[in-house]
Amino acid sequence: EDKVVQSPLSLVVHEGDTVTLNCSYEVTNFRSLLWYKQEKKAPTFLFMLTSSGIEKKSGRLSSILDKKELFSILNITATQTGDSAVYLCAVDPHLFSGSARQLTFGSGTQLTVLP
């Protein structure tokens, strides 16, 4: 069974700090790894990673994938209170040619940024 483990489960930092969120996975055939940010409602898409070692960046957020060691990290620099949310990692396995996306989510990391 596919498995996604995120750490830490929760994190409390002060504004301006840099945080690193971890996601490790076990999947039979890997297609992609996705990061989502969930505030009070809908998870919103952050990054999709398919290749090892290529950093994806969006503002203060960046993410990288290591397919050999089966993990990904999400970095947030100069954190702001608006970054407070649950960050979800999901893995999309490649089941067979043309197979439908079937994401397996981790339990998330609850990030709280204090002023």
Verify binding: residue 100, other proteins, rule CB under 8 A.
Answer: yes
Tokens of 27: 């999947």
User: Which residue of 90, 91, 111, 113 would you call a contact of other proteins, by CB under 8 A?
Assistant: 90
Verify binding: residue 43, other proteins, rule CB under 8 A.
Answer: yes
Owner of token pair 């971890």: 22
Q: Which of residues 62-81 bind other proteins (CB under 8 A)?
A: none
User: Which residue of 1, 42, 58, 115 would you call a contact of other proteins, by CB under 8 A?
Assistant: 42
Residues that bind other proteins in the complex, under the rule CB under 8 A: 32, 34, 36, 38, 41-45, 48, 50, 86, 88, 90, 98-108
